[in-house]
Amino acid sequence: MIKLQAEKMIVHDAGAGRLLDLEELRADLDDCCRQAGLKEPDLADDLVGIVRRYGSERLRRGATVTLVEVEALVVRILLDSGLRSVATLFQQQRQLPAADSSGEFAAIATLDLADLLSRDPFFLARPSAEVLELLPTMLERLHLRRVSPAFVQTLARHLYVNRQTPQEPVAANGYWLVGRSAVETLVAEHAPAELVAAGLAFLPVSALFPRLIAEVNLHRHALACVGEPLTELAVLPAFDRLCQQLLHLLRRLARMVTEQLHEPQPRPVPAVVRCRGLAALAGQGLGLDSKGRADLRDELAACLNHHFLAEFACQIVFL
């Protein structure tokens, strides 16, 4: 999938549609982390990624997304991850009421169990079909006439974790599956000089929403590997080599993630490749007009897809 980075998301607020500025949300979360004394520069970006995924999944189900839902989602993730001080600061910053995750009690027969699980961040990147088959039976065995949505979601989490013999991963600090030091070591020990010249960076992988995120700078890579003057005939083969080298490192990172997940049937880990410097490469480097830039983007994306799609559900983002 090829896309330009979207920093807005449509949400409903007081019955009307509006654009939620995800960059503003990221800045707010960064500010809360700093106030709480938490040195986690990647946390806000990961949370915004989860909000994007949540919005996409809700829209795919034909549901609307409200601002209240998004803010409640962020608070719940922070609380579930043990980051209560950050959650409290975020609530104060946005003037939100104190978290009440219980919800109103309702008769079990009136609850849409699939919808409830789709609202739980725990199941954003985890399959829920098997749990949905087990839930009605388990609720019936408890002989409860009325339950809260939060109770159903918690029960579903327990069913998911305990249905497997291996245990779900527990991140070292309660949030990251593969932390920043591990991905920096991966680059330092295994990245070839061409990728280092391209400013290669991997983002940490969260336990809640495991995905591989790689960033490269196209203009820096071309200058380092081809040199001036740049030509498409030289840049494209160099980029093909970059894709091969990046694929090798993504495989390593995917194995690191799979080892931490401890699942009997490992699920594919999605990947995101963020390509920076396209405008500089096309304009300053190659002197292309807007059509030439679009054509170049398509050629680079086709090269990435050729190398990655057989192994990864890969999203390509040009920044």
Profile the chain (319 residues) by mean pLDDT over runs of 10 residues. 52 69 90 90 88 82 82 85 87 78 72 85 80 86 78 82 54 72 94 91 88 93 92 94 94 90 72 92 93 93 88 82
Going from N- to C-terminal start, the domains of the chain cover 2-93, 106-162, 176-318
Q: Which structure tokens are listed for 230?
A: 């740049």
pLDDT reported for residue 263: 66
pLDDT reported for residue 41: 82
Q: Which structure tokens are listed for 165?
A: 């013999």
User: From CA 241, how far away is CA 225, in angstroms rounded?
Assistant: 10
Please state the φ and ψ torsions of residue 313, each to the nearest 5 degrees. -80, 90
At residue 217, the 3 state secondary structure works out as strand
DSSP code, position 274: E
Are the CB atoms for 189 and 31 separated by under 8 Å?
no
pLDDT reported for residue 100: 54
Sheet holding 201-202, edge to edge: 2-4, 314-318, 271-276, 212-217, 201-202
Cα–Cα distance list, 27 to 10, 70, 192, 217 (Å): 18, 15, 33, 23
The string of DSSP codes covering 106-163 is EEGGG--HHHHHHT-GGGSSS--HHHHHHHHHHHHHTT-SEE-HHHHHHHHHHHHHHT
pLDDT reported for residue 169: 45
Q: Which structure tokens are listed for 313?
A: 């559900």
Bond before 229 cis per omega within 30 degrees: yes
Q: Which residue has the tokens 């490269």?
A: 216
**Beta-carbon contacts of residue 39 (< 8 Å; ≥ 6 apart):** 33
pLDDT reported for residue 7: 63
pLDDT reported for residue 138: 83
User: From CA 148, how far away is CA 6, in angstroms rounded?
Assistant: 35
Q: Which of 54, 74, 61 is nearest to 9 (CA)?
A: 54
Are the CB atoms for 241 and 194 separated by under 8 Å?
yes
pLDDT reported for residue 265: 65
User: From CA 283, how far away is CA 267, in angstroms rounded?
Assistant: 40
pLDDT reported for residue 1: 42
At residue 24, the 3 state secondary structure works out as helix
